[in-house]
Structure 1
Amino acid sequence: MTEENKYKNPDLPLEERVDDLLSKMTLEEKMSQMIYDAAAVERLDIKKYNWWNECLHGVARAGTATVFPQAIGMAASFSEELLHDVADTIADEARAKYNEAQKHNDRGIYKGLTFWTPNINIFRDPRWGRGQETYGEDPYLTGRLGVAFIEGLQGDHPKYLKAAACAKHFAVHSGPESERHHFDAVVNKKDLRETYLPAFRDAVKEADVEAVMGAYNRVNGEPACASEELMENILRGEWEFDGHYVSDCGAIEDIYVRHKVQDSPEAAAAMAVNKGCDLNCGRVYESMKIAVEEGLLDEETIDKSVKRLMKTRFKLGMFDAEAEVPFNKIPYQVNDSKENRELARETARQSIVMLKNKDSILPLAKNELDSIAVIGPNADSQPVLIGNYSGKASKYVTLVDGIHNAVNDNTRVYYAEGCDLRTTEPSYWGNQPDAGFAEAVTAAEKSDVVVICLGISPELEGEEGAVANSDGGGDKIDLKLPGMQEELLAAVAETGKPIIAVITNGSPVELNSVTEKAEAVLEAWYPGQEGGNAVADILFGDYNPSAKLPVTFVKSMDQLPDFRDYSMQNRTYRFMEEDPLYPFGFGLSYTDFEYSGLELSQTEFNSDFSGETKVKVKIKNTGDTAGKEVAQLYLRDLEASVPVAKYELRGVKALDLAAGEEKEVEFNLTPRDFALIDNDGQAVLETGKFKIFVGGSQPDQYSQILNDQKVLSAEIKVKGEDLKLEY
């Protein structure tokens, strides 16, 4: 190392090292680093690097890795601790795979350390095919889980990142998939800051996320990857984000081809870079040279982008000796390890929501069962374990596999597919879509109990272009169970045998007939490689279900506004006017919990108060089975000057309780938690009365009836004068 190569000195400050490297690069070399498959600059020892990698619920698209439950399933755990542990484990596997790839000089796509994860968009409409990638419909929960995942992925080393996370898709992005390349998401200032931005704010200001990805669509007329309001005013201005910004793949081309905001690739590239989009997933930035020649873009602006990109690579240890970076020592053997597979199983257990359990039919006494029928198109399906953006597990346990693994040798397991997920018409050769019904009914007739596995699969919902024969471009055009599943359920129900329905899906589907005909209903999502074992653990009582719905299950499409309407009116639990079928925050257990002794550290405070209001409550397991309870705190503004949500989640605590055990939990609320967003998008702490609710569900009467559990409440007052707060 020489004085001329200060950027190679790991003891120098990061800023100094990056500045030194940039000072040695030509304009062409700088521009070559702003495309996702960045070129090598051999003379400066800059290696070729592909920025594109994915790890939504496990290292994806790069061979074997542990496949955890899909993101929406992990969200159902309501557990920050669990998502942190999962992300930390994913980062270990990512480093292990990266270390070996480097040794073999494999620098291709999906082999790097910059992961375009997590997706923290709000799941505002159940038709959206990518809702499965999110943490649900609530801004608070999405923010908490997003922060936990980012911190787990990036690690806590004072100098190096274990991996680099990316919060996407910024912002106001949740369908329609078929229109995303030209769609303008029109949203008012209140909804923007009340619903669509909070999770991104938390990712930037609390988790210090390394990257942000812009969406395809426009937001109020501006392309999301070239938006003055989103990128300059809010992200880098208000929130002081100093990481790098990456376009969604093809989004820069959309600026001039589909949005038609510019009329050439060079103009689109200049517009995006000038607004702070540092990295192009695509090839439009190859036109930057023309943009510079035409005076649309200058080298100083390019320098800002390249500096941000290089800072990330320095933080990942890419310019330091192997021995300097502790994560380089992570061995390949941690990937797909026994311990990680067990974590996948535990995560799946914590993600499965019990929606119905009539007469406590579950758990099943497996030692008393002579026979069990496992029926349905998803019973032996590997795709329904996986979800989208996944790796490849070395072993998958389907639902029927898990049941086989769980029962004893004396229990007969009858399996019948019954029907597939799609077919409703006879085939060319004359095969009828209900040809498997007779076998399914026979299996049910010969069994003590039926487990029917219904739902949808990633083959029917997902990203635009990833779903074959999709009229919705990846979105669902309706919420009904597809194919002949309703008819199959009806035929099996005619046998009179008790039915347990296991639903696999990444988004809400209509479950009216399932709820009517089945004695018990489990929502399993896309549960990952160990999904079958996890479902069996719950069916047979080896695990007590604790998960809660992170998204509302409506009764039908009639309860939904127009898909293209980004107003939050009548959307999600916060603003819905009618009772749904199954509400956000709902989920049953094999035991009962009782809340008592709700206490507030203060019943009033001045608007200029800078401390916390402590909320304490006692929770007792009054049943005879150990269980985990997810306590939820909701806040309602009783005297708001503008329309606000019915109530909003402001705290979550998960705790394990033995039978008969009682514990006290504490929530801490800051004055910012009580603030509303006014019609101008300003956070304001208004004086007046508020109501705090704590329980195992939402505080509405319908949720309490479903949950068979009372929610406690107390009032608190804010005095003084209305006060504007930092967003």
Structure 2
Amino acid sequence: MREHNDLKKLFLAILLCSFCGFAGAQEYPFQDYKLPFEKRVDDLVSRLSLDEKVMQMLNSAPAIPRFKIPAYDWWNETLHGVARTPFKVTVFPQAIAMAATFNPSALYKMADYSALEGRAIYNKALALGRTNERYLGLTYWTPNINIFRDPRWGRGQETYGEDPYLTGTLGDAFVRGLQGDDPKYLKAAACAKHYAVHSGPEPLRHVFNTTVSAFDLWDTYLPAFEKLVTQSKVAGVMCAYNAFQGQPCCANDLLMTDILRRKWNFKGYVTSDCWAIDDFYKNHKTHPNAASAAADAVFHGTDLDCGTEAYKALITAVKTGIIKEKDIDVSVKRLFMIRFRLGMFDPPSMVKYANTPATVLENSEHKAHALKMARESMVLLRNESHTLPLKKNLRKIVVLGPNADNSISVLGNYNGIPSKITTVLAGIREKVGQQTNVVYQQAISFTNDTLLSYLDLDNEYRINGVQGFKSEYFNNTTLEGEPVLTRTEPRIENNWQEGEKIADKLTANHFSARYSTTFKPSASGSITFELNADDGYRFMINGKNVIDAWSRNRWGAKTYKLETVKDSVYNLVVEYWQGEGSANIRFKAGTFVKTDFNALTKSHADADAFVFVGGISPQLEGEEMKVDYPGFSGGDRTSIMLPAVQTALMKSLKETGKPIVFVMMTGSAIAIPWEAENIPAILNAWYGGQATGEAVADILFGDYSPSGRLPVTFYASDQDLGDFSDYSMSNRTYRYFKGKPLYGFGYGLSYSSFLYEKCVAPAVLKAGKGMEISVQVSNKGSVKSDEVVQLYQLNNQKSIKSAAKALKGFKRISLEPGESKLVKFSLKANDLAYVDQNGSKQFYKGSITLAIGGSQPDELAANSGNIIKKVIRVN
């Protein structure tokens, strides 16, 4: 304990030392922490030159040595735990999974824990003098509150689903948890993105222009942003890549000037999405050059340029009279205000978050909460004949599928790296122990039944007579100059977060590597080499370039088949470069083998149950990816159908007559019409974070009753979808869809059953007034379980264009067997209003209908209990 205290004192001394030089003498008013932030910011900006001001408007803001202002990089992420940091952190379920918890308090706590871990990381960076590095700061470009209007959008996994009310409620909880409750200082700075009307397609995001009606804009696309700006007091907003009504979002009259800055009176900072200002003149062609684009963005209130190129032209723009320096001052003041509010220029003793110790990283509370949220997020879609829960004393369980042992899928995207990841396979094995024979076979990939059967070639790779690869690392992305590190590595299987230390002289930050070896096959025949990497790579055999993916690839695997001659020597060279984000490269070799489904099922005739873990993966869906597998394009999907090979395998498993459990991982809705009719148990596990496997096993074996609810509509087929590029909300999401979904928004089964009764609501309501409504909910089953109580308003006035049904409230409660609880909702006047064709709020007159239960009023789950409806006359 004494050693721990000594280290803590040393750490605090380093922090104080990093601060002293700046504030000690207090030469200038901006250094006087007794003055209000406004006066300090005004004083500081008044002392800066034009060049210094402009450089502070870049995401990578340089130091200002004459005022002892340290460099700072604004770019950081904490979507579901601190992302892309070189330190080990707690990784919570992906955002769409957290939305499925319908639990704002859990989201608040997750954001609070993430902010604490972020503070600990920032304090480490400060002590090490690394505040100029990306992913180490306190300004997080999260949450993503775009509406998940179309399931094909690969980044929908980053959102809180398709409903504006749910999105706003969860986004509010996240912002309050992340920013803290200190009256003076921010714990961290949240940033609502991407403002606005942005949700794919990914390949078109830099060029497309969208126009929506005033009704759709205010009814669907803006409510969550309005809530976070006007009520949650979010520190930042990120404007989107695309154009809206012919103007880029970051220089949009309606969005930026009229609504954000004037109507909502937003005083925080706005950052562009990364390189979005460049899009003005390179892609949208709305501006002739960088100077005009940058000036227009600043005129419209975009303060920070992520991308560090376009805003450099502001110096020219001022000198040529396009923009005045006083306009630059407005943005620079907003930026410094955030840094002052984060306590970056005050003594650590004054800022309670500044002393957050490194011990908060992955502490027991955080890990327990990651497990809790994973459990609460998982949605039981089907459970015929009580297939689940499984018994723990089964003799043999066969676990199959591409996600069964996939540690990439469970982490989602925009993720950090924890010390321990539990896959579904690991979770099942830990749960049943040695008494059950758990057999694993991948059997198929996501889209193919022919897999590369890897060979153990470690002993056949030789470099200078030594087994392995000669590995040369360079402090640039072009393999130029002398390597800063040369060593021998037994294999190429590396995974680093950006900025993580690779060796004493090298961090994973814009570097490149060359791996060389010789291969001497022990027999003639064919062998397939496979390269898998995040970024660019080349593969050469005997000097010939056989694989060239020298651009950002995002875990795209490429293969090359070589016909070999026994005892011949083949010189192999792999070259790799890292761009943005993590650095991952894997090189293996083997032969392709087609899986025989009949042989597979016969070999497991003695199985007591099959658990197939499939779905899709962030290796297939995500941000602007180079993926060309069937059904996927550019990070988006071209089809929402479950890949056909997975259905084919499950059809073969069904013929065995054994119980089958389909554990589906995904960040978006998947159409599974055959499975919904034929597979007895289906659990949607999303990308559940570091504790995915443990949470799945808890549900499969009955240690936790499933309680997640769908935050998106699961459609039955591609035919249910309109044009992906059409942003009209007609026939989209549960609020406007005219068809029958496979599984509706708010749907989810339990191991228990519930009864709703004794609903109390006013019979008459005055227009423009709020109301109270309550209901008693009872657990009629035999197991403890959570229930998500959902309150909807139905539009029974067909003359009014509005959602057919809309979520107006929800509460998660926990009930013991036989227990009852009274659940109360307090609806404000605006909760009971609708948006007219001009985008203005109006109040219903005549009557409204409220429905309360465990699901949508017309999407009743088998054991979600009854639905109670109340018709209320509005005068």
TM-score (norm 2): 0.80
Q: Distance in 1 between matches of 2:671 and 2:591?
A: 28
Matched with 1:482 is 643
SS in 2 for 1:589: coil
CA distance in 1, matches of 2:802, 2:599: 53
Which of the numbers 650, 664, 680 marks the counterpart of 1:503?
664
CA distance in 1, matches of 2:266, 2:325: 21
Instruction: Spell out, residue by residue over 1:226-253, the C-alpha distance to the aligned partner (whole angstroms, 9 max, x if none).
Output: 1110011111111111100000001000
Which residue pairs with 1:713 in the alignment? Answer: 869
Residue 694 of structure 2 corresponds to 533
1:28 aligns with 2:184: no
CA distance in 2, matches of 1:311, 1:444: 64
**Is 1:621 matched with 2:779?**
yes
Shift of 1:383: 1.1
Q: Are residues 1:685 and 2:847 paired?
A: no
Whether contact under 8 Å (1:591, 1:623) holds in the other structure is: yes
The aligned runs of 1:589-668 (5 Å cut-off) are 589-600=750-761, 602-609=762-769, 612-639=770-797, 641-668=799-826
The SS at the match of 1:125 is coil
Q: Which residue of the partner structure matches residue 564 of structure 2?
A: none
Q: Residue 321 and residue 469 in structure 1: after superposition, are their counterparts in 2 closer, same or farther (change >3 A)?
A: farther
Give distance in 2, aligned partners of 1:145 and 1:88: 13
Which residue does the alignment assign to 1:546?
707
Counterpart in the other structure of 1:187: 212
- 1:676 is matched with which residue: 834, 849, 853? 834
Structure 2 residue 612 is matched with structure 1 residue 441: no
SS at structure 1 position matched to 2:637: coil
- Kept in 2, the 8 Å contact 1:456–1:504? The answer is yes
- Name the structure 2 match of 1:724: none
Match 1:272 to one of 292, 297, 300:
297
Distance 1:426 1:625, change over 3 A: closer
Partner of 2:72: 49
SS, match of residue 407 in structure 1: helix
Please give the alpha-carbon distance, in whole angstroms, between the structure 2 residues aligned to 1:245 and 1:619.
Answer: 44
Partner in structure 1 of residue 256 of structure 2: 231
Q: Secondary structure at the match of 2:633?
A: coil
Question: Structure 2 vs 1, CA of residues 20 and 302 (structure 1 numbering), >3 Å: closer, same or farther?
Answer: same
Larger Rg: 2
Task: For residues 297-336 of structure 1, give each alpha carbon's deviation from its aligned partner in whole angstroms, at most 9, with x where no partner exists.
Answer: 1111111101110000001111111222111111101112
- Alignment of 1:97 with 2:125, yes or no, is no
Deviation at 1:118, TM superposition (A): 0.5
1:516 and 2:677 are equivalent in the alignment? yes
Cα deviation, residue 650, structure 1: 0.4
- Counterparts of 1:422 and 1:361 in 2: how far apart (Å)? 27
Q: What does 1:67-86 correspond to in 2, within 5 Å?
A: 67-86=91-110
- The residue aligned with 2:8 is none
Shift of the alpha carbon at 1:425?
6.5
| Residue identity matched to 1:62 | T
1:400 partner SS: helix
Q: Is the 8 A contact 1:416 1:439 kept in 2?
A: no
Amino acid at match of 2:435: N
Cα offset, 1:296, TM superposition: 1.2
Answer yes or no: is the 8 Å Cα contact 1:587–1:707 preserved in 2: no
Distance, in Å, in 2 between the alignment partners of 1:450 and 1:345 is: 24
Q: Deviations over 1:369-421 (max 9, x none)?
A: 11111111111111111111001111111100000000032111111111112
Aligned to 2:743: 582
- Other structure's SS at 1:194 match: helix
**1:637 to partner: Cα distance:** 2.9
2-side partners of 1:123 and 1:443: how far apart? 43
Tell me whether 1:463 sits opposite 2:487 in the alignment: no
After superposition, residues 257-336 of structure 1 pair within 5 angstroms as: 257-282=282-307, 283-336=309-362
Sequence identity percentage: 46
Tell me which amino acid in the other structure corresponds to 2:355.
K
Give the whole-Å Cα distance in 2 for the aligned partners of 1:208 and 1:708: 36
Worse-matched range after superposition: 69-78 or 421-430? 421-430
Query: Among 160, 177, 191, which residue is 1:135 paired with?
Result: 160
Task: Supply the distance in 2 between the matched residues of 1:607 and 1:370 (Cα, whole angstroms).
Answer: 64
The amino acid of 2:699's aligned partner reads I
Q: Which one of 363, 369, 379 corresponds to residue 343 of structure 1?
A: 369
Whether 2:874 is the aligned partner of 1:704: answer no
* Residue 158 in structure 1 maps to residue 183 in structure 2: yes
> Residues 423 and 433 of structure 1 are in contact (CA less than 8 Å); yes or no, is this contact kept in structure 2?
no
Alignment match, 1:725: none
**Relative to structure 2, which stretch is displaced further, 329-338 or 247-256?**
329-338
Amino acid at match of 1:104: L
Measure the CA separation in 1 of the matches of 2:772 and 2:872.
Answer: 12
Deviations 1:95-142, CA, capped at 9 Å, x for gaps: 011101110111201110000000000000000000000000000000
The two structures, once aligned, show a CA RMSD in angstroms of 1.7
Gaps of 5+ in 1: 720-727
- Amino acid of the structure 2 residue aligned with 1:66: T
Structure-2 separation of matches of 1:205 and 1:532:
39
Q: Deviations over 1:662-681 (max 9, x none)?
A: 11010011111111111111
Counterpart residue identity of residue 84, structure 1:
Y
Instruction: For 1:193, give the aligned amino acid.
Output: W
| Cα displacement string for residues 160-215 of structure 1 (whole angstroms, at most 9, x for unaligned residues) | 11110000000000000000100012211000000000000111111100000001
Q: Per-residue deviation at 1:509?
A: 1.3
The residue type equivalent to 1:541 in the other structure is: G
Whether the 8 Å CA contact 1:433–1:484 is kept in 2: the answer is: no
TM-score (norm 1): 0.96
Aligned residue number for residue 722 of structure 1: none
* TM-fit CA distance, 1:426: 8.5
**Aligned length, in residue pairs:** 713
- Distance, in Å, in 2 between the alignment partners of 1:473 and 1:603 is 53
User: 1:356 aligned to 2:382?
Assistant: yes
Which one is further off, 1-10 or 446-455? 1-10
Contact 1:354–1:588 (8 Å) recurs in 2: yes
For residues 443 and 646 of structure 1, the distance between their equivalents in structure 2, rounded to whole angstroms, comes to 52
Counterpart of 1:374 in structure 2 is 399
1:605 to partner: Cα distance:
2.5
1:434 Cα offset (Å): 3.7
Letter in 1 for 2:45: L
- Distance in 2 between residues matched to 1:576 and 1:449, nearest whole Å: 37
Structure 2 residues without counterparts, runs of 5 or longer: 1-23, 453-527, 529-560, 562-589
SS at match of 1:408: helix
